[in-house]
Amino acid sequence: MLKRLAILLALAVGTATVAHADSISGYFSANGTDSFTPNSITFDSAQVAGAIGGTFASYLVDGAVINFLPGPLPYANGMNTPPNPPYTTGSVPLFNTSGGGATFTFNMTDYDAHYINDGSLGCSSGSTCLNVTGDGFFTSTGSLVGESGPATFTFTSQYVNGQPLASLTSFSASASASPSAVPEPASLALFGTGLLGVVGLARRKFHV
């Protein structure tokens, strides 16, 4: 009897915790340095710079450091999924940035990469460029605990004419997120009523 009620209580507490997580939405831009080859990207230093809106505007400021995953991220021209191993959960924590006691992490689920050296897609003639758009979602920890709905990360990098490949270059990037779905209060009340009914039935059974 005690064991069964403890399990039901744990279920109720766990569900309430998830249901009351905050929703993340908004956008911010960034710049920094990186190096890339025809099949991998290695990020160097980066920071939030430029437009900030939505949830992010309450925590992030210009100059906030962006920490990318260490080492090179492999890619092929076209659509890619996170490399496995070591990322076996279907997403890769591409970067995180902090402000106001909160840390935001962009978890990338796929990315579309285009290595350009023919003057197309907005890349200057004679230059070498890399354009990447990643899909995923944001999570936050610290003073804000929550998760976004679908989010995107857009990255553009261009080597200066005559600059050797695999050397550092500047890049620009932007990230945006939509609100996550949060259960309505009526749904939560319905769940609580159902849970009490289950507990009541269990007690009646053991007192018959």
Q: Tens digits of per-residue pLDDT, 11-59?
A: 333 333 333 468 999 999 999 888 888 999 999 889 999 999 999 999 9
Close Cβ partners of 137 (under 8 Å, ≥ 6 residues apart): 91, 106, 107, 109, 147, 148, 149, 150, 151, 177, 180
Examine the domain organization and report whether 4 and 68 are in the same domain: no
Examine the domain organization and report whether 160 and 94 are in the same domain: yes
Examine the domain organization and report whether 136 and 193 are in the same domain: no
Examine the domain organization and report whether 69 and 5 are in the same domain: no
Examine the domain organization and report whether 128 and 199 are in the same domain: no
Q: How far apart are CA 45 and CA 34, in angstroms?
A: 7
Examine the domain organization and report whether 132 and 40 are in the same domain: yes
Residue 98, helix vs strand vs coil: strand
Q: Parallel, antiparallel, or unpaired: how do β-strands 128-142 and 92-99 relate?
A: unpaired
**The predicted structure's pLDDT at residue 145:** 95
**The predicted structure's pLDDT at residue 88:** 57
Examine the domain organization and report whether 27 and 91 are in the same domain: yes
**The predicted structure's pLDDT at residue 128:** 87
Examine the domain organization and report whether 155 and 199 are in the same domain: no
Structural domains counted in the chain: 2
Q: How far apart are CA 129 and CA 118, in angstroms?
A: 9
Examine the domain organization and report whether 115 and 131 are in the same domain: yes
**The predicted structure's pLDDT at residue 121:** 82
Examine the domain organization and report whether 95 and 143 are in the same domain: yes
Residue 12, helix vs strand vs coil: helix
Examine the domain organization and report whether 30 and 107 are in the same domain: yes
Is residue 52 within 8 A of residue 60, CB to CB? The reply is yes
**The predicted structure's pLDDT at residue 3:** 37
Examine the domain organization and report whether 202 and 114 are in the same domain: no
Residues of the chain below pLDDT 50: 1-20, 186-208
Q: How far apart are CA 178 and CA 110, in angstroms?
A: 17
Domain extent at residue 134: 23-181
Is residue 95 within 8 A of residue 106, CB to CB? The reply is yes
Is residue 28 within 8 A of residue 56, CB to CB? The reply is yes
